[in-house]
Every structure is written in C-alpha cells, then in structure tokens.
Structure 1
Amino acid sequence: MANLVNICVVFLLTLALGSLGIHAEAKAFFIFGDSLVDNGNNNYLATTARADSPPYGIDYPTHRPTGRFSNGLNIPDIISEKMGWEATLPYLSPELSGEKLLDGANFASAGVGVLNDTGIQFVNIIRIYQQLGYFKEYQQKLRAIIGKEEAQKLVKESLVLITLGGNDFVNNYYLIPYSVRSRQYPLQKYVPFVISEYKKVLQRLYKLGARRVIVTGTGPLGCVPAELAQHSRNGECAEELQKAASLFNPQLVKAIDGLNKNIGSDVFIAANTNQMHMDFITNPQSFGFETSKIACCGQGPYNGLGLCTPLSNLCPNRDLYVFWDPFHPSERANRLIVEQILGGSTSYMYPMNLNTVMAMDSRA
C-alpha cells in the first residue's frame, strides 16, 4: 500500500511539473558523447569533424554556426530550455570559467564512440575517456570555487546525458568493407563487445560522482540519408545497419538494468531514441514532416552524400524534414525526441522519464 501511495505522489508531482511549467531546483547539466550532443568542442580542435560553417546554425538564435550538428538547437539545448536552465558551454570554451562552471559543461566531441579506435579518421577528437578525464579536471576547478563538499554535492545532484554507440558502427565497423573490427568480430559478437566497453564507461561516470544519467541508444542507423544514398534503391533502410541497431539497443537496456541492480538505485536511465526516431521515420506525415528520407542539407541521392556545406542543396523549411544533414536530426525532430525524454512511457524511457526523475528529486 505504501508503494502505491508513493507512486501516486510521484505521478501527481510529474503532472504538476509538466502542466504548470514549474521546474525543480536548477541542476548542473553534464553532457558526454558524439556529434548528436556536441555543442562546439570540436571548434577548438584541428579536426575534420566540425560544424562551424554555414548553413549549420541557420535557425540558431544568432543564425550563425556554433559547432552544433544541427540547423538550430540540439538535444541538450532543448532539455536545458525545457528545464529552465542556462545552456551549458563547451568544456573547451574560454568562456567556461567562474560562476558559469556551476551550470555544468558539455564534454561531447563529434566523431567519438565507445571504442578508442572509433573516429580515428577524424584525428583530433575528444575520445570518451578523455571526456571523463576533463570531467575530473572540471571538478577540480569547481572545488577551487565552491569548496570540496559543495562541489561533490553539485555533481551528485546533477543531470548527465551520454550519447554514444552510433559511430562504433557507422564510422568503425561498417566504415569500409572488411574493416579491422568486422574482420575481428562477427556482428553478433561485436555488439556485446561494444556493450561491455560501454558498461566500463558508465561505471567510470558513476565513480566520478554522477547519480542521474540518461543513456541514449543509437538511432535507426540504416535509415539516415547517408546510408540510403549508399545502400537504398527504393528508400528502404539499410538492412545490415538496422540489424546492428536492433541488436545494440536492447542489450544496452539490459546492461543498464544490470548496473542499476548492482548499485541498488536507478542511476542510469535508458532513452530508446531508436524507437523515438522510428516513429517519425515510418510515418513522418503524422508528425507534420514532409519527408524522413531526404536530408534538408546535402547533395546526391536523398541529399545523403558528402557534407553539408554552403554549396549544398538547402531546403527552405527545415521543420518539414526529419533530417537536417545526412546523419543528424533537424531541430524539430530533436524537439520531438526531447518530448519523449521528458514524458515518454516506459517503452521510450526505462525505468522512468525525466519529468519523473525531477519530481522524485524535488521530494528528496
């Protein structure tokens, strides 16, 4: 009976937070991962994995490129907006100092994966363990400002978002025919290997103090315009990459469930971004999109070849496109994804959504 009462209280708090627009006390927000969540770190690196030229940022408030692989805001930006928090700065930004450190930091770097050899073609990117090293360095800077105990408290009460995995397939296993990793492992063994390495990353995050971590799965890897351009004749998704996603995502949820059971608390929350994407890939019109196959910015079949540049085809209305460039969602698609992160059922967010997390934490 007590459990039922607690569930009802959390449910009512979640409704109150969502419907009234009242957010729990501001949290620091930390972001780790790849180009889906990078907000400009790669601008400060000598790498080809950059989004610092037009038309990137065309719909950003400044209408200028920021390093985000988007026409406007990305997922972390929109979460911050919905929570009423200050947007986090890239960790490498000179502006991230003093009181701005209290808002958190974005450590993500386009091109990285779970594995160290993912993204080697991009040369200078912040690989995931280096991102975690920067997180440790960040905490040292924080302690110098607010003291050790307050710094530990800020990190413990923070929200963390981590997005990894897609590049381990697209830019590693399937990058070229007979890649090193594909010769080393059949897909059925490569996926558990990546998952086992991902668990080590998440355990390291926990050791560094993170206690609320949203872990996104991969999107539908075979349905992005870049893969359609290479593998599709009639707009069908690339079967082999879809198989990889279908193996990876359920195993990631299982790994997260196991980690939480070992810890004895729901530290890690699985976001089924694969299903979130598939909803509007399979039926784009019902979400107000014109197409889920053609990128807004690009060239070649499905606008899926090469990079998005000032010379690329550019759609006039980005809100009608699921994909902004050959790999990345449009801002509007990102907003739909964040809606599910905030309030989605357990089919999308396991074991709970972000509104429920905020409601529970406001009671603590």
Structure 2
Amino acid sequence: MGMSPVVSAVIALVVVVICGNLAGESEAARAFFVFGDSLVDNGNNNFLATTARADAPPYGIDYPTHRATGRFSNGLNIPDLITEATLPYLSPALNGERLLVGANFASAGIGILNDTGIQFLNIIRISRQMQYFQQYQQRVAGLIGPVQAQRLVNDALVLITLGGNDFVNNYYLVPFSARSRQFALPDYVVYLISEYRKMIDMISSLNAEIGSPVFIAANAHEMNMDFVTNPQAYGFVTSKVACCGQGPYNGIGLCTPASNLCPNRDIYAFWDPFHPSERANRIIVQQILTGDNKYMHPMNLSTVLAIDNSRT
C-alpha cells in the first residue's frame, strides 16, 4: 500500500446509487444500504481479524466524537454525507428498530475481483456482503413481517462503491503480482472496464425494464481527477501530499499515531495515501447530488428523488 495520493486517485472506481420504487416512500423515510470498500466502510472491519482497520487515532480526528470509528477518514465519509448514517452490519448495536434505518455492509480492502485484498485475510467480499443483505432481510421480516420488510427494501436508497482496490491491493500489491503476470497494465484496465461496463449495462437494462431512472451511476474517477489536477480551484493546497502518513508525500501505508499529521485537514485533498479528506468527500457527494452528465448517468440523485417526490 505504498502509492502516492495522485496515483491512488486515478484508479478506476465504480459508484452506483440505487433508488427504490419511484412510487415509494419519501426521501426522509427511506432505508439506506451501503456496499463496497474502505471509501464507505463505517466500521465493519472493526469486528474482524484483519489489518484493514481504521479504529485508532488519528482516524476520526474531525468526526463529531473526535474518535476513530472505523471510517477511513479524518471525519465523515461518503455515506454519512448522503443521508442519515447507518450502523455497520456486524455491530451488536444494530438490532430492533435500528434495523429499519438500513445497514452498512461495506468492508475495507475488497474489490470487484475476488482475489483483491487477499493479504487482509478476513474481509467481507462483495458476494458475502450480499449474503449478509439476505440475512438482514430475514431479520427485518421477523421484526415487521415479510410484506413490510419487502417494501422497506424496495423503497430503499442503496450505495455501491467498488474498484480502487483492484489496482492498489491487487495489480500493484507486489512486484510481479499474479494479475500483473496475467495482464499487461493496459489489458488489465480493459478487463476492469469490461467489468464496469457490465454494471452500466445492468443499470441501463434495469432502468428500461422498470421504466424509470431508478439505477444511477456516478463517475467518481472524474470527480477525483477534478481536484487532483487542479486542487487550488477547490480550495486545497495540494493533491500530491496526504495529510496523514509517512515517507515521500506521506504516501506509504495507512495513518497511525506515529504518522506525520497536518494541522488543517480542510486544505488537503487526501487524508491518507488512499482516501479523500472529509472536505473532498463533500465535493464528491455534491456531484452525486447535483452533478451533470459528466459525473452522473443517466441523471443526478437530486433529480431522481425530485421525480420520486412528485409521484408520491
């Protein structure tokens, strides 16, 4: 995990936002489900025997409690900024009425490919996250009945974030990695793009089948590149040096109590070598909510929710 922030920022990233039935509940009443990697993990890995954790300071230094929560951020992450925060699915506190708000199934270290993040051993791969989601639905059905449970899921807002680790924690993990021996870098990019396109094709076909833009995709790579290539335009002093880390550009390893730490996190695009600062996350979420077709396909989240609210 020894990449500079600039390199980690140009990694392919898939973000899909799924809105439930457009004749469903209002935005405020929606459950929220989160799947993916460390960009959206809010603490599941705290409950796993893995090194992919953010449960020690200075992670969380700007979080409301000023404590490390398992979020790979100095403060809030992307799901926190979209809607009401949900608890990690593995948290013992996620029970009873708290289940009705939704759940976060994300796990730091995973990727699109099953062999991504193998060095972290015990992480929740995307297939396992989906299994937990099925388990969640059974738990909710036991609480409010199967009909209401299905309605809650159908009307939910879902965030899926994948892709970055397939480079950092797979292709570039070690010299002569298995994937780098299998693919030249351009071919590997093509391979991952093909996996990305499968998701885009799925989104388009589902939208056509449902007749409404329920499934939308965010081009987070483009969002990141905006402040990577021109950080000053967004109020950052640099996108080349992480706020917290060690080595050249603070670009080696994760953030630890012994790391170099900048005094003002708001002027750094990257919190650690791999994750945006809270302020950068706010820029990304603003584009998810209001961005044009450069960033969102087929439309932004606010537009979809406005259509939803007009039909309720």
TM-score normalised according to structure 2 size: 0.86
Residues 115 and 197, structure 1, Cα contact 8 Å, conserved in 2: no
1:307 equivalent to 2:310? Answer no
| 1:204 aligned partner | none
What is the identity, as a one-letter code, of the residue corresponding to 2:85? A
**Equivalent runs, 1:247-262 vs 2, <5 Å:** 253=200, 256-258=203-205, 260-261=207-208
How far, CA to CA, are the matches of 1:347 and 1:272 in structure 2? 8
| 1:346 aligned partner | 293
| 2:44 aligned partner | 41
**CA 1:257/1:182 → structure 2, altered by over 3 Å: closer, same or farther?**
farther
1:222-270 per-residue CA deviation (whole Å, 9 max, x = no partner) reads: xxxxxxxxxxxxxxxxxxxxxxxxxxxxxx6466435544665434211
**CA 1:91/1:124 → structure 2, altered by over 3 Å: closer, same or farther?**
same
**CA 1:196/1:287 → structure 2, altered by over 3 Å: closer, same or farther?**
closer
Residues 195 and 255, structure 1, Cα contact 8 Å, conserved in 2: no
| 2:18 aligned partner | none
1:77 equivalent to 2:80? Answer yes
How far, CA to CA, are the matches of 1:199 and 1:120 in structure 2? 24
Residues 38 and 110, structure 1, Cα contact 8 Å, conserved in 2: yes
What is the identity, as a one-letter code, of the residue corresponding to 2:236? F
| 1:58 aligned partner | 61
**CA 1:184/1:264 → structure 2, altered by over 3 Å: closer, same or farther?**
farther
Match of 2:29, SS?
coil
How far, CA to CA, are the matches of 2:194 and 2:128 in structure 1? 18
Quote the offset at 1:356 in angstroms. 0.9
Higher helix share: 1
How far, CA to CA, are the matches of 1:198 and 1:129 in structure 2? 16
Residues 214 and 304, structure 2, Cα contact 8 Å, conserved in 1: no
Residues 58 and 71, structure 1, Cα contact 8 Å, conserved in 2: yes
| 1:295 aligned partner | 242
1:34-54 per-residue CA deviation (whole Å, 9 max, x = no partner) reads: 000000000000000000001
What is the identity, as a one-letter code, of the residue corresponding to 1:163? T
What is the identity, as a one-letter code, of the residue corresponding to 2:164? G
How far, CA to CA, are the matches of 2:79 and 2:211 in structure 1? 27
How far, CA to CA, are the matches of 2:210 and 2:189 in structure 1? 24
1:55-88 per-residue CA deviation (whole Å, 9 max, x = no partner) reads: 00000000010000000000000111xxxxx310
How far, CA to CA, are the matches of 2:202 and 2:100 in structure 1? 31
How far, CA to CA, are the matches of 2:200 and 2:240 in structure 1? 27
Residue range with higher mean Cα deviation, 176-185 or 321-330: 176-185
1:163 equivalent to 2:161? Answer yes
Query: Percent identical across equivalent pairs?
Result: 72
| 2:130 aligned partner | 132
Larger Rg: 1
| 1:219 aligned partner | none
1:161-198 per-residue CA deviation (whole Å, 9 max, x = no partner) reads: 00011111211122122211222233454345445656
Quote the offset at 1:24 in angstroms. 3.3
Match of 1:30, SS?
strand
TM-score normalised according to structure 1 size: 0.75
1:105-124 per-residue CA deviation (whole Å, 9 max, x = no partner) reads: 00000000111111000000
Match of 2:27, SS?
coil
**CA 1:198/1:140 → structure 2, altered by over 3 Å: closer, same or farther?**
farther
Match of 1:293, SS?
coil
1:306-338 per-residue CA deviation (whole Å, 9 max, x = no partner) reads: 221111110000000000001000000001111
| 1:270 aligned partner | 217
Unaligned runs of 5+ in 1: 1-22, 81-85, 201-251
1:127-167 per-residue CA deviation (whole Å, 9 max, x = no partner) reads: 11000000000000000111111111111110000001111
How far, CA to CA, are the matches of 1:318 and 1:40 in structure 2? 21
**Equivalent runs, 1:150-189 vs 2, <5 Å:** 150-189=148-187
1:317 equivalent to 2:260? Answer no
Aligned length: 286
How far, CA to CA, are the matches of 2:263 and 2:188 in structure 1? 41
